[in-house]
Amino acid sequence: MSEGSLRVVDSVQGKQHDKTIKGLLRQLVNGSPEQQAIEAGEIDAIIDYSGRNVILFPAARDALRLPAAGESTHEPVANNLLAALTQQEYQRLAPYLESVTLASGTVLHEPGEPIRFVYFPVDCLISLLPMVTGGRTVEVGLVGFDGMVGTSLALGVNVSSLRARVQIGGRAFRVSQARFTSALQDSQTLQHELNLYIYTELAASRQTALCRTLHRIEERVASRLLMTSARVRSDQFFVTQESLACVLGVRRESITQAAGALQRRRLITYSRGNLRILNRQGLEAASCHCYGRLDNLSHRA
Ligand SMILES: [Zn+2]
């Protein structure tokens, strides 16, 4: 099973989540040898394959820099760019990082407007959309926990050229433009990581242009679903036909047909926006493989 298909549930020392997680744990380990090991503190995490969840114990959560769900914290987070900072660099930025929950559909940046905040997604997904007269658009970039929104600041440009809209809601960290610019001047690591990330964004945008021209809609939908799954770190997510049509630049009817074909092949289930990947290997085979190319690029970066 690939890492991208598992979802981290929470720490077992969560607060309001405590009951649910303990219940889940009881189901999984009740009466088994693992129960003793858990009680002795010898286990870091449990993988629940049936629910595709990873249940973390506190030490593992701290090591992975994941804040407990619902917890407002300035502890380091599960965003690749922030995680790449040295401890010292991170500590300088941490007091200015604000934990936010972004709702689906929220617009973070508009083209031509000054950038007030940059965003580091944790488990949300942001679409980058250039706009044309009449409000029509098509996605040219997708930002998840691997990156950030507001990269033009690293090139000395304080104005967004794109609309940044939350595609799938979730957690992110944000920091003001002024603090981010100052952190960038102080941190060689952040400069280096951002240069690599901007290179990846550029390459991804070129690949997307090629994909749109050469590949069939069903292949593109499969690629896009795999890409989304990797960014939200789950095999289940919410995505409407309208939003898929918008980001892929095709008619809604084309998405209905493509999703229907993927369902008939038992690769996914899709009902009222709730999508679940049933057969990841099969979906990869049905895709145009642009997903794999982009994923490899971001791993090299
Ligand atoms: Zn493609």
* 35 lies in the same domain as 107: no
Q: Which amino acid is at 7?
A: R
* 88 lies in the same domain as 162: yes
* 106 lies in the same domain as 178: yes
Q: Is residue 264 part of a domain?
A: yes
DSSP SS3 for 173: strand
Q: Across the chain, which distance is largest between two alpha carbons, in Å?
A: 64
The answer to whether residues 33 and 51 touch, using CB atoms and an 8 Å cutoff, is no
Residue 161 Cα to ligand 1 midpoint, Å, equals 24
Q: Where are the extended beta strands (E) located within 7-153? A: 7-11, 45-48, 53-56, 98-102, 107-109, 117-121, 125-129, 141-143
In DSSP terms, which residues pair with 131 in a beta bridge?
Answer: 137
At 76 the pLDDT is 43
Residue 212 Cα to ligand 1 midpoint, Å, equals 7
| H or E element in which residue 237 lies | strand 236-238
- Token pair for 182: 């100052």
Which domain covers residue 37, as residue numbers?
Answer: 3-63
Averaged pLDDT, 170-193: 92
* 11 lies in the same domain as 85: no
Q: Is residue 232 part of a domain?
A: yes
- Token pair for 114: 């000054």
Residue 209 Cα to ligand 1 midpoint, Å, equals 9
Angstrom distance (rounded) from CA 195 to CA 252: 36
Residue 182 Cα to ligand 1 midpoint, Å, equals 38
**Can you give the length of the chain in residues?**
301
Interval 232-263: pLDDT, tens: 888 999 998 988 998 888 999 999 999 999 99
**For ligand 1, a single-atom ion, which residues have Cβ within 5 Å?**
211, 215, 288, 290
- Token pair for 42: 């010898």
* 253 lies in the same domain as 151: no
Q: How confident is the model at residue 276 (pLDDT cuts 50, 70, 90)?
A: very high
At 47 the pLDDT is 63
Q: Is residue 206 part of a domain?
A: no
Residue 203 Cα to ligand 1 midpoint, Å, equals 13
Residue 268 Cα to ligand 1 midpoint, Å, equals 19
* 98 lies in the same domain as 146: yes
Residue 46 Cα to ligand 1 midpoint, Å, equals 36
H-only helix segments in the chain: 18-29, 33-39, 58-63, 80-83, 87-93, 177-186, 188-214, 217-232, 241-248, 252-264, 280-286, 290-300
The backbone torsions φ and ψ at residue 47, rounded to the nearest 5 degrees and listed phi first, read -100, 120
* 243 lies in the same domain as 291: yes
Please name which of 110, 127, 135, 121 lies closest in space to residue 204, comparing C-alpha atoms: 127
Residue 288 Cα to ligand 1 midpoint, Å, equals 5
Q: Is the dihedral of CA 266, 296, 7, 223 positive or negative?
A: negative
Q: Is residue 153 part of a domain?
A: yes
Interval 69-93: pLDDT, tens: 444 444 445 899 998 888 888 888 9
Q: Is residue 207 part of a domain?
A: no
The answer to whether residues 164 and 130 touch, using CB atoms and an 8 Å cutoff, is no
**pLDDT > 90 in the chain, percent:** 45
Interval 47-71: pLDDT, tens: 665 555 556 565 555 445 454 444 4
Is the pLDDT at 146 greater than 80, yes or no? yes
Q: Is residue 74 part of a domain?
A: no
